[in-house]
Structure 1
Amino acid sequence: MKTHKAAKHGINVVWFSCDQDNCDYKVKQAINLKRHKRDIHNIGVRWHQCDSCGYVAKQAGNLKRHKRNTHNIGVVVWHQCDSCDYKFKLASNLKKQKRRIHK
């Protein structure tokens, strides 16, 4: 409840500020500051490396997506075009196909 009041209503707000040089980032929740430091300043990063190539990612989900889309490792969900024989690993590519080719 304390976190909710601070985040949503500005009651008893404790600001968390980034301590890196020339960074004015500040947030109401410590987890967001931790995420900022990881993503922007590479502090506290646990790198996830692909064992099939040199790809590295900060987040495990990005590595999982890379393996699935690049190396066909894991569950690959194919998106079949209903107007032709093409199929795509990414739903966004199917949407582009429909928009560009089939209009």
Structure 2
Amino acid sequence: MLYAVICNDKKDHLHIRLEIRPKHLEYLKSLGKTLKFAGPFLDADEKPDGTLVVVEAKSPEEAKSLAENDPYAKAGLFSDMKIRPWRWSVNNPEEA
């Protein structure tokens, strides 16, 4: 099952995001095929202010564990985090 991890950054925490970014990217790369895609949400000035990560996991608990082990989460960057089951219906590269 795919899970979308949807996070919003705490206000005025861009410096934390920039500082932790290399560790965050290293963590995401370490997930291998578990990670389907990821990227930041952008504010009106096109500065990152949140995160979208889609992972394949056996359960919501496993997806939550993956999300909580992200260096961004460990650094306290996020004001909130939602994890929702998600179905890739259109342009799924695994169905091409």
Structure with higher strand content: 2
TM-score with structure 2 setting the length: 0.23
**Bigger Rg, structure 1 or 2:** 1
TM-score with structure 1 setting the length: 0.22
Structure with higher helix content: 1
